[in-house]
Structure 1
Amino acid sequence: MNVATASAAPGTYPALVLNADYRPLSYYPLSLWGWQDTVKAVFLDRVNIVSEYEHAVHSPSFEMKLPSVVSLKSYVRPALYPAFTRFNVFLRDRFTCQYCGDNQDLTFDHLIPRSRGGLTRWENVVAACAPCNLRKGGVMPAQAKMWPAQKPYRPTVFELHRNGRLFPPNYLHESWLDYLYWDTELEP
């Protein structure tokens, strides 16, 4: 099927992707697919349409409202532990310098410096702003008299999802709100 549309540019009309249990696959970044991938998944019978936009795409013989929320037909078991990445360290530490509390110009710091045998792993790395990282330098926390607000640890995917909900994206379609557990006041 050749889908034609004049106003649904790539990147517009994203669909929130839910697992088969109707929970988002991830919160940060939010599980979103572009409309083209969503329509393809519908035709391949991989997803159920949960909610739709008013906008439709069409071909000469077919018209379909674009899905705004879809759920996978097969449950995808989430990993227990996330990958060790710079972004996930920042998310674990809530995008906050663990020394001064600032949230600008973040990098990461090795508690035990690499020059002293410290490894680049969850239990030895914290988010730090560039000024604090420079101030601490290649010395131990006690020598620098700088201790992180929280001891670094290996988080679970659940913990990162919980932290991700604290940083909702700039765009949230109203049809997504029933499936996202943001800290919002419920209507009476």
Structure 2
Amino acid sequence: MTAHVMHPMASPDGCPALVLNADFRPLSYYPLSLWSWQDAIKAVFMDRVNIVSEYDTVVHSPSFNMKLPSVVSLKTYIKPSRTPAFTRFNVFLRDRFACQYCGTRDELTFDHVVPRSKGGLTTWENVVAACSPCNLMKGDKMPTAVGMIPMQKPFAPSINDLHRNGKLFPPNYLHDSWLDYLYWDSELEP
């Protein structure tokens, strides 16, 4: 299908769909669960999702017109993982994208608190986000030997820990129709 935009405001490429689980919670907060307009339309036609909200942007083919979905919900509930994967990205997210030695957000890499050369393992409990300069300065030394103690003791985060941290880094673009479904479990201000 070739899409032609009938609304002058936006191109279809600027119209991703927020994907909600069947319980109307986002599949993930960070990265935010988004599908391209093509994937959203395909899921609609395959009867895998319900359209919850739409953009004003319309696409059409010779045989049909359709407003692009801005929010869709899965028809089948996907049980969220109970434990997050141990990945570089999730280590950075746990540590709020900040070097655990100096607090900078530039040139992030990761550091073994107890160096591998001294028996340190590559685990949640021994790896922290670190900027390149701090990582080089610490090298293969023990934290106490160089006075570089992580600001936060490394730990295995829960999915909720990562969701909570992910909310601190909202995407650059949030469509108005998404706001009712994002951060709905956040505390309300009095």
Please give the range of the TM-score, normalised by the shorter of the 2 chains.
over 0.9
Amino acid at match of 1:20: A
For each residue in 1:29-78, what CA deviation from the matched residue of structure 2 results, as whole angstroms up to 9, or x when unmatched?
Answer: 10000000000000111001000000111122211100000000111001
The Cα shift of 1:148 comes to 0.5
Percent identity, aligned pairs only, is 70
The ranges of structure 1 where at least 4 consecutive aligned residues each deviate by more than 3 angstroms after the TM superposition are 6-11, 182-186
Structure 2 length-normalised TM: 0.91
Instruction: Measure the CA separation in 2 of the matches of 1:11 and 1:85.
Output: 29
Instruction: Measure the CA separation in 2 of the matches of 1:78 and 1:11.
Output: 28
Of 96, 106, 109 in structure 1, the residue corresponding to residue 98 of structure 2 is 96
The Cα shift of 1:12 comes to 2.5
Amino acid at match of 1:141: P
Q: Which residue of 1 aligns with 2:88?
A: 86
What are the residue-to-residue correspondences of 1:2-151 with 2, within 5 Å? Answer: 2-6=1-5, 11-151=13-153
- Unaligned ranges ≥5, structure 1: none
* Number of residue pairs aligned between Structure 1 and Structure 2: 186
The Cα shift of 1:11 comes to 3.4
The Cα shift of 1:6 comes to 4.6
- Unaligned ranges ≥5, structure 2: none
Instruction: Measure the CA separation in 2 of the matches of 1:146 and 1:36.
Output: 49
The Cα shift of 1:27 comes to 0.7
Instruction: Measure the CA separation in 2 of the matches of 1:73 and 1:3.
Output: 27
Describe the SS at the equivalent of 1:179.
Answer: coil
| Larger deviation, residues 7-16 vs 164-173 | 7-16
Instruction: Measure the CA separation in 2 of the matches of 1:100 and 1:40.
Output: 46
Of 165, 168, 176 in structure 2, the residue corresponding to residue 166 of structure 1 is 168
The Cα shift of 1:184 comes to 10
